[in-house]
Amino acid sequence: MSAVMISKKVRKWEKLPGKNTFCCDGRVMMARQKGVFYLTLFLIIGTCALFFAFECPYLAVHLSATIPVFAAVLFIFVIAMLLRTSFSDPGVLPRALPEEARFIEMEIEAANGNVPSGQRPPPRIRNVEINNQIVKLKYCYTCKIFRPPRASHCSICDNCVDRFDHHCPWVGNCVGKRNYRYFYMFTLSLSLLTIYIFTFDIVHVVMRSVDDGFLSTLKETPGTVLEVLVCFFTLWSVVGLTGFHTYLISLNQTTNEDIKGSWSGKNRVQNPYSHKNIFKNCCEVLCGPTYPSVLDRRGLMNEDLPISSSSAAQSASLSFNNSKSAQPITKTTAPLIPNEHAADAAKASVGASTEKTLSSPDDHRPPSSSAPPLASPETDAESSVTKDRKR
Amino acid sequence: MSRVVVAHDNITDTRHPTMRDASTASSFSVHRGSMAEFHSLQEMKHSASLVMKVFIQRDYSEGTVCRFQTKFPPELDSRIEKILLEETVKTLNSFYAEAEKIGGQSYLEGCLACATAYVIFLCMETRYEKVLRKITSYIQDQNEKIYAPRGLLITDPIERGMRVLEISLFEDRGSGSSSPSSSTLSTGGGTR
């Protein structure tokens, strides 16, 4: 009875929980619904294309050649910021692995003491003192962690995001700690671009009307009408949004906190994160350090796939940690090194080849399952020897 | 790349006797004697079993800056001196503080990056990433010198989302560990 296993190397992003879509082999991370993002791209590119086609030739000749150049620079900056906001990891917090989740549960139970049956247990809240203010940390039942301060769970992406601002459908992604400054730069530069195009549309129409008359101008450059319409409506929304976020940055608040009114009102806590200085707040948010992603999207991990018959399937299921039919006997044999993910700290130093437990990120196990096996799948001698041979 | 192979209990051994012999011969280093003395991470890997994991939580008293609590977990009482762990945690905290420091260099980096539409991050390594590499090598060093000889292993916080500092406790299989944790099955040490 020999098990034949295929060890397939997969990238970690393929096994991440949550409702994100990944592109370019894990380099790009977005939300699932991207329709509005495509609309944003279309509007920006379309309007700018019309501007370059209709207005720029006239203005370059009659006014200055720098006008289209500056418009092009601004356009490239806007697109770069949009793509950066949409494609980057907003600051997703990975879910707790089984041991950590259990450890936290034990702590909670110890803290709660004995709850008489029939009574609901108290809500899972931890109080921390930050800058002499008491901040409540809530427990996330999906991610099985106590959320750090300012983190929030996005229900659309099904992830906890650090310094969660809001989920923006226009960029097709959450806005959080890692991409907030790109989002702000996007709205700011888009406001400037909109104002720029709007202004020069008007200038162009006026200048041309002097020579040719208003109606014939509109006939010659029909794109202008469209641009003016788009810019007019965009102006109010985007400029307003930029102003709102400038206000939030100066107070070092997030949209989420503002909506919930966390720091407003007399009796409530004052914002403990604010430096009480507008300049310092702005510098921290916009020029602070660039936080790295803690989701190792492109890291490699091994996935065991059983490929043969029932006998092999039985022993294969011993190795494939995911399988519900896994025999409990070998399952509970302890692994040498905890092996939840390939990039375990021990890996670099011990050079261990690790088998992945697909326990935490997997979709197969129901979320309420109680004691997911800790052990690495490689508890079966045969599979380990088989892999040895493959090396 | 060396293999991580786990010892089997008798039940699987009987099912695959030949394989067991082969693997035993090739992969195990046998530890005689009662008490575990792990002289290297390699040794520990071959003969240790995971007992439990201890998690040191984040300390949010100074805001959202990455800091870990220096409170000593009681489970490690018998394993390591308090001062050593505190020293490690304090050094890690200082590394993170250096990475997240908002000062001249971070402003310069931020403004330069903004001026180039953040394209420069494709070529340049940010200060935070540099410090993270330092942290990884520091943890590796500490594991080799201090923690592995005591049967402990620290996991780099970045692999746990910078939420916790995970310390794994190992015990020598040869000493017939019967751990209180649910994660292990005592292997009896019959072959040793």
Task: Quote the pLDDT of residue B40.
Answer: 63
B13: enclosing H helix or E strand: helix B10-15
- Give residue-wise pLDDT tens across range A21-62: 998 888 899 999 999 999 999 999 999 999 999 888 889 988
Average confidence (pLDDT) over A196-206: 92
pTM equals: 0.74
Question: Is pLDDT larger for residue A39 or for residue A103?
Answer: A39
Give the number of other Cβ atoms within 10 Å of residue A232's Cβ. 12
- Does A302 score more than 70 pLDDT? yes
Least confident of A116-125, B69-78, B149-158, B180-189: B180-189
- Does A313 score more than 90 pLDDT? no
Query: With an 8 Å Cβ cutoff, are A289 and B7 in contact?
Result: no
Query: With an 8 Å Cβ cutoff, are A330 and B61 in contact?
Result: no
Helix, strand, coil distribution of chain A in percent, nearest 5: 50, 15, 40
ipTM over 0.95: no
Give the one of B58, B114, B182 whose C-beta lies nearest to A371's C-beta: B182
Which range among B39-48, B82-91, B106-115 has the greatest average pLDDT? B82-91
Helix A35-50 and helix A180-212, axial crossing angle in degrees, nearest 10: 30
- Does B1 score more than 80 pLDDT? no
List active site positions of A: 168
- Does A183 score more than 90 pLDDT? yes
Confidence of residue A310 (pLDDT cuts 50, 70, 90): low
* SS3 labels along A277-309: CHHHHHHHHHHCCCCCCCCCCCCEEEEEEECCC
Average confidence (pLDDT) over B71-93: 90
Average confidence (pLDDT) over A277-302: 86
| Chain A residue with Cα closest to B135 | A345
Shortest distance, CA B88 to any CA of chain A (angstroms) = 15
CA proximity to A338, closest of B183, B148, B176: B183
Which structure tokens are listed for A303?
Answer: 């996935």
Mean pLDDT of chain A: 79
- Give residue-wise pLDDT tens across range A335-344: 444 444 434 4
Which residues are within 8 A (CB) of B102 and not within 5 positions of it... i.e. 6 or more apart? A283, A284, A287, A288, A289
Average confidence (pLDDT) over A359-383: 41
- Give residue-wise pLDDT tens across range A226-273: 899 999 999 999 999 999 999 999 999 999 988 988 877 666 678 888
For residue B4, list chain A residues with Cβ-Cβ distance below 8 A.
Answer: 335-337, 339, 352-355, 376, 378
| Chain A residue with Cα closest to B66 | A148
